[in-house]
Amino acid sequence: MDKKRNGFSGTGISLLVIVFAVLALTIFSVLSLMTTRQQLSLTKKSAATQEAYYDAEYKATKKFNELSRLISNDYEAAADAAESCNAALTKSDGYAVCSFSERINEKMMLICEFSVSLGDGKVNVNKWYCANIEAEEETTETSRPQISNRPGA
C-alpha cells in the first residue's frame, strides 16, 4: 500500500492543467474576437447606409430646390428640366406635382413628391420617405392603391 502511495509523483497533472487553461483562454479569445468582428461589420454597414442615405438626400434636396424654383418661375422650362433629371411633372387644379426617386443603395431608394401652387408659388412636400426598391417596383407594376399613414402620403 505504502509502495503505491509513494509511486504517485504528480507527473502529468501540470500538463493537464495547462492544456485546460490554454483551451479556455483560446475559446474565450476566439469568441470575443468573433463577436467584435461581427459587431464591427454591422456598425460599418450601418455607417455606410447612413452615408449613402445622406448622399441620396443631398442629391434629392438639390433636385427639389432646383425644380421647385423653376416650376414657380417658368412651368415649361421646368418640364424640360424635370425630364432631363428623370422626374415626373404633372399639372392639375392649379398645382404642378413633381415626383422623382433617388437611389440610396441596391435595396433602398428615396421617394420624393412635391407640389407647387402655380398661382402663388407655394411649395408643399407630399412624400419624402425611404422605400424598398423591389416593393416599390411591385407596387408600380400592379398599380395597387397605396394605403399608408406616411405623412403627406
Assess contact for 83 and 75: CB atoms under 8 A. no
Q: What residues from 95 to 114 belong to the interface with other proteins (CB under 8 A)?
A: 114
Closer residue to other proteins, CB minimum distance, 135 or 150 = 150
**Stretch touching other proteins by CB under 8 A, among 40-48, 80-88, 98-106, 136-144:** 40-48
Query: Would you say the C-alpha torsion 132, 137, 140, 142 has a positive or negative sign?
Result: negative
Nearest residue to 121 (alpha-carbon basis) of 74, 76, 72: 72
Residues 6+ apart with CB under 8 A from 146: 139, 153
**Stretch touching other proteins by CB under 8 A, among 60-68, 81-89, 101-109, 129-137:** 60-68
- Examine residue 77 and tell whether it contacts other proteins (CB under 8 A): no
Residue 99 sits at φ, ψ, to 5 deg, of -135, 145
Of 5, 14, 93, 142, the residue at the interface with other proteins (CB under 8 A) is 14
Assess contact for 113 and 126: CB atoms under 8 A. yes
Of 122, 146, 150, 153, the residue at the interface with other proteins (CB under 8 A) is 122
- Least Cβ distance, residue 143 to other proteins (angstroms): 26
Reduced to 3 states, what is the DSSP secondary structure of residue 8?
Answer: coil
CB atoms within 10 A of CB 52: 15
Assess contact for 67 and 87: CB atoms under 8 A. yes
Of 90, 91, 152, 153, the residue at the interface with other proteins (CB under 8 A) is 152
Of 86, 124, 132, 146, the residue at the interface with other proteins (CB under 8 A) is 124
Task: List interacting residues with other proteins (CB under 8 A).
Answer: 9-12, 14-15, 17-18, 21-22, 25-26, 28-30, 32-33, 35-37, 39-40, 43-44, 46-47, 50-51, 54-55, 57-58, 61-62, 64-66, 68-69, 114, 122-126, 152
